[in-house]
Amino acid sequence: MLKMNNYWLLAFVWLGLIYSTLYIVRPICSFLKENTPFSLLINLLLGLAFAGMTAVILKAVRKPGSYARLALALSVYTASLFVIAHPEEKLHLVEYGLLAFFLFRALTQDGARQPYLQAWVLASIAGWLDEGIQHILPNRYYQNTDVLLNAFSAGMGLVMVHILDRDQGKAKLAN
């Protein structure tokens, strides 16, 4: 019997959560836009997520060069918050960044030869399928820009993984 490592399970559960909320997220966002400072809430939520991610990485980083790479990656994340026009689209940064992380860890534990590339491709395909599902939903629509945003988000998640990978060595990440 094949044994699936826990990161595959996390990746499938996370992707299931993304896909299962596609229909209801639009009405929820519409309600929140009408009744709250939605853009501010999203930016605060993402700011907290990035701060938490930064704290975890800073705690693990040991080499001075990693701090510079971390600062650069966080600058790109921060710039993305200003470039992405619609607040709900900013959530893609977390959705597909985290999916890419889970996929990377699963692939690494399975001994994949190119886990960064494979995780990025799998997360990007999942993001493309996300848009395909939206195409058939009555309250959603397909956008090529979201496909690109999903792939970018997966890539940025893997950049953060790479900072730790480079700082601590691949063996530590595989555990």
| Domain presence at residue 1 | no
In this structure, what DSSP letter does residue 36 have?
A: S
pLDDT, one tens digit per residue, over 70-119 is: 888 888 988 988 899 888 899 999 999 999 999 999 999 999 999 999 99
| Domain presence at residue 8 | no
Residue 103 near residue 5 (C-beta atoms within 8 A): no
| Domain presence at residue 69 | yes
In this structure, what DSSP letter does residue 142 have?
A: -
| Domain presence at residue 78 | yes
Q: Shortest CA distance to 94 belongs to which of 26, 29, 170, 17?
A: 17
| Structural domain harbouring 167 | 13-174
| Domain presence at residue 44 | yes
| Domain presence at residue 89 | yes
| Domain presence at residue 63 | yes
Instruction: Say how many domains are in the chain.
Output: 1
Q: Residue 174 above 50 pLDDT?
A: no
| Domain presence at residue 7 | no
In this structure, what DSSP letter does residue 21 have?
A: T
pLDDT, one tens digit per residue, over 116-158 is: 999 999 999 999 999 999 999 999 999 999 999 999 999 999 9
Longest dimension (CA), the chain: 51
SS (H, E, C) 50-117: HHHHHHHHHHHCCCHHHHHHHHHHHHHHHHHHHHCCCHHHHHHHHHHHHHHHHHHHHHHHCCCCCHHH
| pLDDT value, residue 171 | 41
